[in-house]
Chains A and B, each alone.
Chain A
Amino acid sequence: MARAEYQEIPGSAVLTVSELSRCIRGVIEAEELFVDVWIRGEISNFIKHASGHRYFSLKDESAVIKAVIWANGGRTPAASLENGMSVLARGRVSVYEKQGQYQLVVNEIVPEGAGSLYIAYEQLKAKLLAEGLFDVANKIALPILPQTIGIVTSATAAALRDMVSIAKRRFPSVNILLIPALMQGAGSESSVVEAIRTADSIPDIDVVVVGRGGGSIEDLWTFNSESVVRAIAGCNKPIVSAIGHETDFTLSDMAADLRAATPSAAIELILPECDELRSHVLGLVDRMRISIESSVERKAATLKLLLGSPSIRYPMRMVENRSQEIDILSERLQRSFDLIVKDAGSRVGTATMMLESLSPLGTLARGYAIVRDADTSRVLRSVDEINVGESIETRLSDGRLISRVEEVIKE
């Protein structure tokens, strides 16, 4: 915005001091080179204000620049800053308009000795990060219950004693194999790398700890070396780093599968407490028992429900129902049969009547008679078939007459 104003001001215009200062600030703060810059210099006029802001100058043989570290704005080493200290400061260049002063707003500052290390550290970190050495996806999970812990540390370290005693307390049956290594100073890098590789190659070892107690930044520097960091990242077994104290953070910590704040904490992270595990197992058994009991109860309830169903409780009802059905059916059968019989009976009656109407007996009943020759029993159909004096038999509906022919009258 300031820059825009600067461009809009006509050449002939008169600026106020504030306007000019704002323009200068705009120009400086827009300069890319000034946004993030490392400066080497010596501290002078160091003042720590009650507000927590720290003001000082950085100078070399021929120049000086004002610098400030805001109370919450900078990473500084444990050692306090003081006049005469050679430092490497990182920050951005800004302008304090009220005093027409450009200054370095510092966000990182390290003593010069450590400073070059620090820059090397930052560069290595960026490189390994880009390579994916610190990727969370590459982290290996710790075993639930390691049987053998391989500890890479110095055989004489107090840290070793702490780790062993905590391990024994938490889980008495755990085995510990120390792989001694030089943990600081000349030769420590290759010693640690070698020890990690050895630990990785021993089949019994389930998890590796690389641990050491606190120390100076130089003492811990071994664990920022590329070879050690690569050895940790390349370890095929789960590996836990425990370097220095809580506040020390090394590249080894970033490469490890798990970072513990201290060696003791590493063992606590690795080893479950025997009692805890025991109660976990018991808890599982309890859950199992409860599940099976409720499952049996559910099935029993189902069974009870089934047993309570009418067909099981009153089986005779089925029989009763059926026998009633049978009764109804047989009744129907009987009725049908009766009907058939009755029907048949009436048909017989009709037939009989028809038969009767055809029978000569019926005709006789109506007053007709059958006449036969009494001797030959031949039915007479004409008066010519009989002579006077012969006997005839006359059949009537209820009997017979035997008579003698007195006269034959032909008509």
Chain B
Amino acid sequence: MCDNKVVFEDAIIRLEEIVQILDDGQESLDKSLALFEEGVKLARACSGILEDTKGRVAKLVTGADGIAFAESLDL
């Protein structure tokens, strides 16, 4: 879960970059097609993350031993 945010942020930034490069249309066809392929993969990764619904709600509790832990919270 934790690296999803990195994956998503990096992916969307890279995807936007690729779109920009393709929009400029300065790259060779080979390079463009490779970029396109990369972009589609990134978009798939992004969509995958967006489909995820396993969010968790928790409350930080400090135990008797002074160690904090997250306790699930139902609201």
Q: Residues on A close to B: CB < 8 A?
A: 143-147, 155, 160-161, 164-165, 167-168, 171-180, 198, 202, 204, 206, 274, 277-278, 280-282, 284-285, 287-289, 291-292, 294-296, 298-299
Neighbour of B15 across the interface among A147, A202, A281, A291, CB < 8 A = A281
Verify A144–B53 contact, CB threshold 8 A: no
Considering the chains assembled together, what is the distance between the CA atoms of A176 and B25 in angstroms?
A: 42
The chain B residue with its CB closest to the CB of A286 is: B19
Considering the chains assembled together, what is the distance between the CA atoms of A282 and B27 in angstroms?
A: 23
Scan residues 6-48 of chain B and give those whose CB is less than 8 A from a CB of chain A. 8-9, 12, 15-16, 18-19, 22-23, 25, 27, 29, 32-33, 36, 39-40, 43, 46-47
Whether A180 touches B59, Cβ cut-off 8 Å, given contacts A284-B16, A288-B39, is yes
Considering the chains assembled together, what is the distance between the CA atoms of A175 and B29 in angstroms?
A: 42
Verify A175–B58 contact, CB threshold 8 A: yes
Neighbour of A173 across the interface among B9, B47, B53, CB < 8 A = B53
Verify A176–B60 contact, CB threshold 8 A: no
Considering the chains assembled together, what is the distance between the CA atoms of A180 and B68 in angstroms?
A: 12
Verify B5–A287 contact, CB threshold 8 A: no
Verify A145–B8 contact, CB threshold 8 A: yes
- B67 located at the interface, meaning its Cβ lies under 8 Å from any Cβ of chain A in the complex: no
Considering the chains assembled together, what is the distance between the CA atoms of A277 and B51 in angstroms?
A: 11
* Interface majority SS (helix, strand, loop, mixed), chain B: helix
The chain B residue with its CB closest to the CB of A300 is: B29
Taking CB atoms, residues of chain A closer than 8 Å to B68 are: 198
Considering the chains assembled together, what is the distance between the CA atoms of A178 and B75 in angstroms?
A: 12
Verify B39–A143 contact, CB threshold 8 A: no
Q: How large is the interface on B (under 10, 10 to 19, 20 to 34, 35 or more residues)?
A: 35 or more
Neighbour of B2 across the interface among A204, A289, A296, A299, CB < 8 A = A204
Verify B55–A173 contact, CB threshold 8 A: yes
The chain A residue with its CB closest to the CB of B21 is: A291
Verify B8–A168 contact, CB threshold 8 A: no
Considering the chains assembled together, what is the distance between the CA atoms of A145 and B1 in angstroms?
A: 13
Verify B60–A295 contact, CB threshold 8 A: no
Q: Residues on B close to A: CB < 8 A?
A: 1-2, 4-5, 8-9, 12, 15-16, 18-19, 22-23, 25, 27, 29, 32-33, 36, 39-40, 43, 46-47, 49-50, 52-60, 68, 70, 73, 75
Verify B29–A164 contact, CB threshold 8 A: no
Q: How far is the CB of B74 from chain A (nearest CB, A)?
A: 10
Taking CB atoms, residues of chain A closer than 8 Å to B46 are: 277, 281
Taking CB atoms, residues of chain A closer than 8 Å to B39 are: 284-285, 288
Q: How far is the CB of B38 from chain A (nearest CB, A)?
A: 10
Whether A171 touches B73, Cβ cut-off 8 Å, given contacts A281-B47, A295-B25, A299-B29, is no
A-B pairs with the 5 shortest C-beta distances? A291-B22, A147-B5, A172-B53, A173-B52, A178-B59
Considering the chains assembled together, what is the distance between the CA atoms of A146 and B2 in angstroms?
A: 10
Q: List 28 A-B contacts (CB under 8 A).
A: A143-B5, A160-B75, A161-B75, A164-B57, A168-B55, A171-B55, A172-B55, A173-B50, A173-B53, A175-B55, A175-B58, A176-B56, A177-B58, A177-B60, A178-B60, A180-B60, A277-B50, A278-B50, A280-B12, A281-B12, A281-B46, A281-B50, A284-B39, A285-B39, A287-B19, A291-B25, A292-B36, A295-B22
Verify A173–B5 contact, CB threshold 8 A: no
Considering the chains assembled together, what is the distance between the CA atoms of A203 and B36 in angstroms?
A: 34
Neighbour of B60 across the interface among A144, A198, A281, CB < 8 A = A198
Verify A147–B60 contact, CB threshold 8 A: no
Q: How far is the CB of B41 from chain A (nearest CB, A)?
A: 11
